[in-house]
Every structure is written in structure tokens, then in C-alpha cells.
Amino acid sequence: MRHIFKLLPFIRPYWKRSCVALVLLTSLVFLDLSIPRLIQRIIDQGITAHNQDVVIQTALLMIGISIVSAIIAVGNNIVSVQVGESVARDLRDALFTRIQAFSYGNLDEQNTGQLMVRLTSDTTAVQRVAQVSLRIGTRAPMLMIGSLILMVNTNLNLALTMLPLLLVTSVIIVFFVIKMEPLFHSVQQKLDRLNTVLQENIAGARLVKAFVRADFEGGRFEIANEAYTDHSVRVMQIMSSMSPVLTFCVNIGMVIVIWAGGMQSIRGELTTGQIVAFTNYLLTTMGPLTMMTMLSNTWASGLASAERVNEVLDTLPAVQDVPAALELSGEHAPQGWLRFEHVSFHYGAASLNAADSTTVLDDINLVIEPGQTVAFLGSTGAGKTTLINLVPRFYDVTAGRITLDGIDIRQIKQDSLLAQIGVVPQETVLFSGTVRDNIRYGVVNASEEQVIAAAKAAQAHDFITHLAQGYDTHIEERGINLSGGQKQRLAIARALITRPKILILDDSTSSVDVETETKIQDALETQMGSRQHTTLVVAQRISTVLKADNIVVIDEGRVAAQGTHAQLMQTSPIYQEIYESQLGNGMRLAAEGGQA
């Protein structure tokens, strides 16, 4: 229940509408409770006394009450839906904002399927709780309490006779609510898994087809689908058993009322109108109990979903700004001087001694001067990408520190730091929209000249002009209408247009040919201004790093060697091995071919 209460701040902005809904609901309850008493009046004072005027007057009054009740019910439903939809909207906004604030470490712990379920299914479940609580949820207990009071007022002995049955029915409802909540939680977990498998298969549909793994993936989906179905069936079975049980209780109550009331009527202790009124109050009491059983399902589902929503809302970003963090502007405008001082990093835990942590970087010491191009080379898994991801604070260092112009980057506002950094990630991500929109993604008000200049520097202008609509060409989902090299060049243009002080290229030219790569490298200085930016390059291809001012060889999370190409060829066996494996044989074969 505390998870629902934690979400009350999302209802607070709509407290006036909520109060209107509750006032309308209270009025509706009073009108509903007046009907049995009016029926008693028709029978006892009209039909039994053969008084036609009483029958007509009371019937007209009941018709008027019914019309007013219908109008109030419609108004209550409208206001309740407005509140519920508004709460759901704000909740989705809050979840989306929190997810956007997550650091890479947070995203490593969550998968896409889980986050999508929380933004959709779980939010809808909480929305239903808000709506139903302002409609049935409040109406049911008010009707039940009012009916009990009027039952006692009608006939105390008959009311006491019904008390044990009402207590048993209440216990049954509580039992079902307690039983249902963990089941709904389990269903949502299975839905998480189903969505994860579905999302992976849709994203990788082409790969599945290429490797003829449709049957295998179909089996994975069938297992996840079957598990979700089994848990859903269990929930539905329990839910479906509630209605017959409560119907049985209502029928038993009716039998008791007719039998006990009939005996008292024979003795002259109870009128026919009182029996009918009492029967209606009994139905009005048991009816809300039935409604509450249906509501219990909504509440059980909502409680489970509220807990899952709160898990996301309570998750703090792993990387946060410190109080009084610096803004990189004015006197703090960066020059691009980077220093790594005894930097270590561990995935999975902040503690160096944590058993579940994975050591990636260990005691890294580097100095990168403004305007330098520094390349990071090493085998797959050596820690190159992780190292450069520490500069924009996608992760925070586990030990040591990284400084920018002598300032620890943890003392700088994240947004301000990122505004000075252009990143071309290893995995190219493009958004649905035009080519122009994707290039100026980081500078939405960039001029056409800036867009074209960035595209030319990234060697993308020529292929863009050959597209059907040039810069207005629509890019399909995940950029499937472009080649890998074209997507990489657009990603480079997107980073260049921000004119960053620090440019990070994470193996960003792996999908382009060597000639295009050389043109991109030559154009970077022309576009950005000679040595006006610090460039960090991660590369698998040694031809990418030959002209770098400093080449850093990373091996098993440590700096194995650093220097220029000529220096490393003399001093680093690892670099020599990489060079020989990639260029050595090729150069000898070319020489032999020339002699031939």
C-alpha cells in the first residue's frame, strides 16, 4: 500500500477535480440509498393503504432522483477519467525524464523491455487505480456503510442476523486481495520477459533471418509467452472464482432475509415494505462488496505496478552533479587539457574489493595537451571505449580522477561538460526524420551553411546530394535506407556541427574505406580550425592512428606503451605486432608486386 501512497504527489495537482468527483460521488450515494426507503413508502403507505396519490407522488420522486443520479454519475465519470488520464500522463513524463537522466551504469542494470512495460502497462494499471478509486472505490464502502446503518434502522434483529454473513464475505474479499497482489506482480515480471524477447527479435529480425534461427527464436518466444499465459490464467482463475462465491453469499443472505423477515411479518413485527426495503439494503450492501472484489483485482494489479514504477522513480542516476558544480563558460571556458591521474574503473560495483565487480581499467596515467590528436589502440576488450567514456562522465571513475584544465570533471556540471564534447559512438544511432534533422540534432538552430560544412567535413555531402531529396531525405527507422558507412559519416557530421572542444571518435570510421577515412581526418582540422580541438580516437585499424600526435596502447586495462608511430615501432612489441598483423604483410606483398 505504501507504494500507492508514494505516488500521491502525482494526484495532488488535481486535488480540486478529485474533490469534485468525491462530492458528486457522495451525492450519488445519498440518492441511491433513498430509493429503498421510497419503495418501502410506496408499499406501506401507498399500495397497502390503497392510497393512489402516495404511489404517484413517490414514483415521480423516484424518477426525478434517477434522472439526477444519472447526470451526477456521468459528471463523476468525466471528472474521474480526466484525473486518471492526467495522472498517467504525468507519471509517464516522470518515468521518461528519470530514464533520460540515467547514467550508463543505470542503463546497464535495466533492459529495454522492462522499462517499456513500466512506461506502458504499469502506468496504465496505476491509472486504473486512480480512476476506479474516484468512482467505485469510494462509492462501494460508502454505500455499504450507509446500507448497514439503514438496515439497523429498519430492523435491528434482522440486521444482527445478517452480520455474520457480512463478516464472512469481508474476510473472503481480504483473502482474495492478499492472494492476488503477488500473482499480479509475477504476471508483470513475465510480461517484462515477454517484451524483452519481443524487442530483441524485432530489432534483430534481419539477423535472425540471415542465420536461419527463426525456429530457435520462435521457441524462445513460445517459452516466454507460455510462462506469461500460465501466470495470467492463474490470476483469471482466482478472479473468476470470486464472483460465484460472492453470488452464493448474496443468495444465502436473501434466503435469510425472506425467511426471518417473513416469520416476523407473520407475527406482525415487520411490514411488507420493511422486508422489501431491507432486501434492497442487503443487495446494496452485498453489491458494493461484489464491486470491491472487482476493485480488489484492480488494486492488486495497481499495487504490483506501483511498486515497479517506484523502483524506477527511486533509482538515482549513478552519475550526479555535486553541489555548486562549475559551469564551463566565461573564465572557465575549457582549453582541452586532459589529465588521467591513477584512474581505475570497475563495472558492477564501486568497491575495489567487491566480489561481483569487473576490473576494466587499472591505474591509468595520461596527459593530453590541448589540440592534440590522441589515439587509443589495443585488442578487443582491452578497455579503450570504457576509458574514453569516462571523459564525458558516462561513468564515473572508481578510483583516481580525470581533470579538464586542472579541474576534476566531477566538479563540473554534466550538461556543461557534455556541451564541450562531441561524441561519435561505436554503435551508430540515427533517428527517424530528415538527414538535416539528424545532422543538427545537437544544434537544432544550426544554419544550412553549418549543416553543409559539417557534412562536407565528414565526407557525407556528396552522397547526401545524390539521395532522392538531398538533405530532406527521410531516414527510416534505425537508418535502414543507408549503408553502414553513410550512417557513420552522418554521425560524425552530427558531432562536428557542435564545434566541440573535445571530439571523441569511438571506432567511428570502421565502416568507411581507407581513402574516405583519410579525407575525413584531413577535413577535421579544416572544419574545426587547426589544432583548436582535442581529439580522442579509438581505433581497431592501425591506419587510422598513424598520424596521431600520441598513440596509447591499452593492454588488459593498463597503458602498455605510448608515443608516436615511429617511437612505438622502436619500443613497443605489442604495437609492432598489431602493425605487422595489419599492414606488414600487405606492404611486403605490394612491394613484391611492384618489383614483378
Give the C-alpha separation, 415 to 304, whole Å: 35
Domain borders along the chain are 2-313
Query: Rounded CA gap, 561 and 378, in Å?
Result: 10
Collapse the DSSP code of 433 into the 3-class scheme (helix H, G, I; strand E, B; otherwise coil) and give the result. strand
Read off the DSSP letter of residue 412: B
pLDDT band at 591 (very low <50, low <70, confident <90, very high): very low
Summarised one tens digit per residue, pLDDT across range 375-393 is 998 888 888 889 999 999 9
Between 573 and 279, the more confident residue is: 573
pLDDT of residue 595: 38
pLDDT for residue 5 is more than 70? yes
Cα separation, 397 vs 125, whole angstroms: 39
What's the pLDDT tens digit per position in 124-137? 888 888 888 777 76
> Can you list the alpha helix ranges (DSSP code H) found in 267-336?
272-313
Region label for 309, one of left (φ > 0), alpha (ψ between -120 and 50) or beta (otherwise): alpha
Residue 216 neighbours by CB under 8 Å, 6+ apart? none
Beta strands in 315-383 (DSSP E): 338-347, 358-368, 373-378
Q: What does the pLDDT read at residue 63?
A: 92
Residue 270: what residue type?
L
Give residue-wise pLDDT tens across range 446-459. Answer: 899 999 988 888 88
| Banded model confidence at residue 176, pLDDT cuts 50, 70, 90 | confident
Count of beta carbons in the 10 Å neighbourhood of residue 502 = 22
**Pick from 13, 139, 8: nearest CA to 86:** 13
pLDDT at residue 92 tops 70: yes
Provide the grid cell at 247: 453470488
Q: Report pLDDT for 292.
A: 67
Contact in structure between 387 and 364 (CB atoms under 8 Å): yes
The mean of the pLDDT values for the chain is 81
Cell of 394: 558516462
Task: Quote the CA–CA distance of 303 and 298 in Å, as a whole number.
Answer: 8
Rounded CA gap, 132 and 134, in Å? 5
pLDDT at 544: 75
Considering only residues 286 and 487, tell me which one the structure prediction assigns the higher pLDDT.
Answer: 487
Whether the per-residue pLDDT at 352 is higher than 90: the answer is no
pLDDT band at 343 (very low <50, low <70, confident <90, very high): very high
What's the half-sphere exposure (Cβ side, CA atoms, 13 Å) at 334? 29
- 481-485: which pairs have CB atoms within 8 A and are 24 or more residues apart? 482/430, 483/511, 484/428, 484/511, 485/511, 485/512, 485/513, 485/516
Strands (E), 399-466: 399-404, 407-408, 421-424, 433-434
Tell which wins on pLDDT, 544 or 101: 101
- Which residues are 347's β-sheet partners? 358
- Residue 265 in 3-state DSSP? helix
* pLDDT at 587 exceeding the cut of 60: no
| Exposure on the CB side of residue 436, measured as CA atoms within 13 A | 14
What pLDDT was estimated at residue 410? Answer: 92
DSSP character string of 160-222 = HHHHHHHHHHHHHHHHHHHHHHHHHHHHHHHHHHHHHHHHHHHHTHHHHHHTT-HHHHHHHHH
pLDDT at 586: 44
Give residues with Cβ within 8 angstroms of 294, minimum separation 6. Answer: 136
Which are the contacts of 594, defined by CB distance < 8 A and separation ≥ 6?
A: none
Residue 314, pLDDT above cutoff 60: yes
Phi/psi at 559 (5° precision): -80, 110
pLDDT at 500 over 80: yes
In the predicted model, is pLDDT for residue 75 greater than 60? Answer: yes
Q: 514-528 and 448-457 are packed helices; what angle lies between their axes, rounded to 10 degrees?
A: 140
Listing DSSP states for 521-579 in one string gives HHHHHHHH-TT-SEEEEEESSGGGTTT-SEEEEEETTEEEEEE-HHHHHHH-HHHHHHH
The pLDDT-based confidence of 351 (bands split at 50, 70, 90) is: very low
When pLDDT is cut at 50, 70 and 90, the band that residue 373 belongs to is confident
Q: What is the pLDDT of residues 157-171, one digit of tens each?
A: 777 777 777 777 777
Q: Determine the average pLDDT of the residues in 151-158.
A: 76
Residue 480 DSSP label: T
> b vs e for 443-464, b when ≥16 Cβ sit within 10 Å of the residue's Cβ?
eeebeeebbbbbbbbbbbbebb
Per the CB < 8 A criterion, the answer to whether 142 and 25 are in contact is: yes
Contact 537, 378 (CB under 8 A): no
At 47, is the secondary structure helix, strand, or coil? helix
Three-class DSSP category at 117:
helix
Angle subtended at Cα 113 by Cα 110 and Cα 115, rounded to the nearest 5 degrees:
55
Write down the CATH number for the domain with range 2-313. 1.20.1560.10
pLDDT band at 589 (very low <50, low <70, confident <90, very high): very low
pLDDT more than 90, % of the chain: 11
**Of all helices (H) and strands (E), which one includes residue 372?**
none
pLDDT of residue 510: 66
Give the residue with greater pLDDT, 508 vs 402.
Answer: 402
Which pLDDT belongs to residue 207? 74
Residues 249 and 286: beta-carbon distance below 8 Å: yes
Tell me the pLDDT tens digit for each residue of 533-583.
788 988 877 877 887 889 999 988 899 999 988 898 888 888 888 888 877
Say what the pTM is: 0.72
Indicate whether 402 pLDDT > 80: yes
Q: What is the pLDDT of residue 149?
A: 81
Confidence at 585, pLDDT banded by 50, 70, 90: low
27-45 pLDDT per residue, tens: 888 888 888 888 878 887 8
Query: What is the per-residue pLDDT for 444?
Result: 86
pLDDT digits (tens, 9 = 90+) for 190-222: 877 887 788 778 767 767 777 777 888 888 888
Residue 469, pLDDT > 70, answer yes
Indicate if the pLDDT at residue 249 is higher than 60. Answer: yes
What per-residue confidence (pLDDT) applies to 185?
Answer: 73
DSSP states of 120-134? IIIHHHHHHHHHHII
